[in-house]
Chain A
Amino acid sequence: MKAIYKVTDIVRLGVFSLLVHKVRSMLTALGIIFGVWSVIAMLAISQGASYESQISLRRLGSDNIIIGSVKPPEDAMAAESGALHYGLTHQDVARMRDNIPGVLRAVVIHSTPKLAYAGGANQHQVTVLATEPGFAGVARARMKEGRFINSLDMLRRASVCVVTDSLADKVFGHGSPMGKTVRLSGMAFVVIGVLDRLPGKLTGGPADAGDYVLIPHTTEQMRFGDMTVVQSQGSEVFERVEVSTAILQMVDEQAVVNGAAIARGMLERSRRQVDYQITVPLEEIEQRKRQMEIWSYVLMAIALVSLVVGGIGIMNIMLAGVTERTREIGIRRALGAKRRDIVVQFLVEAMTLTTAGGLAGILVGLVVPWAVENTLKFKTIVTTQTLVLPFVVAVAVGLISGLYPAMRAARLDPIHALRHE
């Protein structure tokens, strides 16, 4: 019974002493709060960034091999009947589709810049993508309204088009564009569907350009042929590109890795010049993942260093506190406190301080990423681990740094502690 009174009294004494030494207590708690929240925020932001970049790459499709036509340097180009001819051909794509194992489907895109007109005063610069029904699947395109181009459209060479959401807004204003007419080089196309934005890399267009009109490939060949007119320095230049982008969708990731190597070899042999570029999102995803891993180790190291530095600060304050109170320890010892009574008193102080500071640090550590996400629109991810780890480290550092000087002070003979000034 007496022992219980004594324990509760010593715990109360520990908490009470913190109130007596307010400034020092505040400083120590502040050190812990800063250590904990900065580590939590740092981890949350770095994990958010890593997640974001992987998501954007994943949208390209980790099961795709993307081969784009690229214009080679002017002088290396062979002029053919007054037009520049370069890039992938349908024959190239067919050979790859038939000879590379594990191809689920091959989709071709022919992309041309054009002016679109839908009534009103303005024309709009757009990218026309002539493609086939499989495109929606490999591009992971989501329909906002209507439907995508189907095989019947292809067969009939129908004058229909699918537009991206952002273009629909610009060209048709509010209201639904479904069933309305868009004129491309004077020819009318009826809108049958609206798509979300498409990743630029996939479409062979400028990165993240949002203004696309998608039409059946067969319709384009009938209406426009595969000649592209490019305005360069005042004079008109004709370019002939059969396939702007080919997308090979593979059965699995192993097929992606093997297929990419085979495709490289095939094109190296068949093309006279390097007028193509192979993009493998999977490889980029893996590479980005490795980079992010290295980054997160670096951030981890910084976080640990700042915790250690914070810990040394805490230890310093604790040491100074105990040293300053050596005489008090001497008085208590002279009046009958045992060594463990002293250690328990200081341990309770350290524990109360570090736990309170750690909890406050977690609170701030939750608020800061939330604020960052809402003001800077920066994705952050807070997990239980990133909350608990800094807390545990800070509390452990606080306890050790409180325990060490307390044990040192308790070890002193009462007479030495009393003589301390």
Chain B
Amino acid sequence: MSPTQIAIALWTVVLKEIKRFMRIWPQTLLPPSITMTMYFIIFGNLIGSRIGAMDGFSYMDYIVPGLIMMSVITNSYSNVASSFFSNKFQRSVEEMMVSPMPNWVILTGFVVGGMARGLGVGVIVTIVSLFFTQISVEHPILTVAVVVLTAALFSLGGFINALMADKFDDISIVPTFVLTPLTYLGGVFYSISMLPEFWQGASMLNPILYMVNVFRYGFLGVSDIPVGIALSAILAFIIGLFVMALWMLERGKGIRS
């Protein structure tokens, strides 16, 4: 395919993905907005005022970046996981497989679609947070970079999950048993400096901790961990997962008998 044709094909996949989550917005955009509003009210407003300062910031200001990140992570992941799995289940993935579109275009299309949903929800949550507090961003470029990379990383994760899944249950296992606990333990609601030494060390093995912290650093200028290392780790994961997803697609894993 010529570069123009590739661009058209890629845009077609992206647009189809965006149309999908817009079409079913009550399932895709509304629930995270409501949940996050609840978090802001309960943890930020009601309980937060009793917790007092965290790393020198009001508790509300401290959790806003974490909650935005949490919604980006879960929405990117579940968008690609359920969309690709449903394409597989309904066999409409065959529409793409019979076409001359290269596999990397299919993969990139789905990933960009997942990023669009994750970042879209991130923007909605940010807007909601403005009703509760004022946010200022210390390092805008870093903030945007880290949230975009995180969205890409979890979209890729969702894609691999969907390729391996045989039934709908298989795409909710990882979000429920892996992503949610890691996010909760990833310093969204607390600073790991509050933990005993052993648990601080254990927390350092949690990749989500790095993303939440770098993102918070972008907003507030404080972080529990070194920013450079975190960014390089995210990039390395993205490359690794992209190669893995592409390899699985080439092999026809889960889609070709």
Partners in one complex: no
A residues in contact (CB < 8 Å) with B? none
